[in-house]
Amino acid sequence: MELKKKVVIDCDPGIDDCMALMLCFKHLDVMAVTAVGGNTALEYTQRNARYMTEICGKPEVPVYAGYDQPMFGKTVRAAYAHGSGGLGNVTISDPEKKLGEGHAIDRLIDIFMNNDDVTLVALGPLTNVAQAILKEPRLKERIPEIVCMGGSGTAGNFSAAAEFNIYVDPEAAKIVFESGIPIRMVGLNLTRQNRIDLKDVEEIRSIGNKVSDFAAEMLEFSAGADGRCSLCDACTVVWLIDPEIIKKSLHVHVDVETKGEFTRGMTVCDWREYMDMDPKQDIAHEKVAEHPFAGMKEPNVEVAMEFDQPRFRKLLMDTLRMYG
Ligand code: BDR
Ligand code: CA
């Protein structure tokens, strides 16, 4: 039997974080979940993470609480997209499962200093990850790769330029993106290629187990708002579960804007070697030029570009069915 890939998941559940956890618990070896404040306050994100381990039948997976607030900027939440408790209209009571002892960043440091071949999955603002790197700089050599949901190769969602996770804590994102740790980035340019609508929600509801019922309840809130949702975090973890769902990716240099008047939190992707003549596809998916463009830096990020939506949808439905 093939060994499952080892991961630690830093997240801010959050509806799509919960959907990502459902996928990870069935297909990956989740060593720990660390919670960060983001979509909602840490008080709820750590609670929701504990709840997920319980309903997904993984109470042995430890959950640790990290930072609630970003490193420098003002605290920003996304209650409009996730509800004030992070689960849409679903209310839950405090799970029996207790929080793991210690601060999430100390646990991240322990895990990565003492284990090889563990991928760090980051599905929220990068506060915990950056603080861990600052506290233990040897993590730069110890973390083999980070797969993160954040940023965009094109437009943002929280502002014209910035995606929510990066917008919330751009300084943290800058530390992580400049760390030298190999990064695979799933940005909004990719997740917009996914669409889960109310018909899909009904199909999920018809599966009829505890996990799928919970998913349907949450997704009704997400898809109900404008008829569809993208499940950004779930689109991200599939890169580790079934890599073929990410049909195309490009290695480019990505900087994080921390100062711009209009662009704070933007992931500035250097597409200059990919600028094409086709007006319908301004960013080509193959190199069209190899110039020594002014100030061009070495690629530091593998950016996801093309998504196999039917394959993703099948994986999602099949996985939800696996819950009983
Ligand atoms: C990201 O922001 C959060 O609202 C979601 O959980 C996802 O991680 C999408 O911009
Ligand atoms: Ca998230």
The CATH number covering residue 302 comes to 3.90.245.10
Residue at 188 is within a domain? yes
pTM over 0.75: yes
Higher pLDDT, residue 320 or 227:
320
- Do residues 25 and 214 touch, judged by C-beta distance below 8 A? no
Residue at 53 is within a domain? yes
Residue at 1 is within a domain? no
Q: Is 308 in the pocket of ligand 1 (CB under 6 A)?
A: no
For every residue of 16-48, DSSP letters joined together read HHHHHHHHHHHHSEEEEEEE-SSSS-HHHHHHH
Residue at 275 is within a domain? yes
- pLDDT tens digits, residue range 268-296? 999 999 998 888 888 888 999 887 899 99
- Do residues 187 and 266 touch, judged by C-beta distance below 8 A? no
Residues 75-82 have a mean pLDDT of: 96
Residues 307-313 have a mean pLDDT of: 98
Residue at 220 is within a domain? yes
- pLDDT tens digits, residue range 18-27? 999 999 999 9
Residue 202 confidence (pLDDT) above 70: yes
Residue at 295 is within a domain? yes
Q: Ligand 1, from 9, 10, 11, 12: best to mutate by most atoms within 8 Å of Cβ?
A: 12
C-alpha of residue 207 to centroid of ligand 2, in Å: 25
Number of domain units in the chain: 1
Residue at 118 is within a domain? yes
Closest Cα to residue 43, out of 99, 5, 108?
Answer: 99
Torsion angle, alpha carbons of 88, 94, 95, 97, to 10: 130
Nearest CA to ligand 1 atom 10: 164
- Do residues 217 and 291 touch, judged by C-beta distance below 8 A? no
pLDDT score recorded for residue 1 = 67
Nearest atom in ligand 1 to the alpha carbon of residue 191 is 9
Residue at 257 is within a domain? yes
Domain that holds residue 80: 6-321
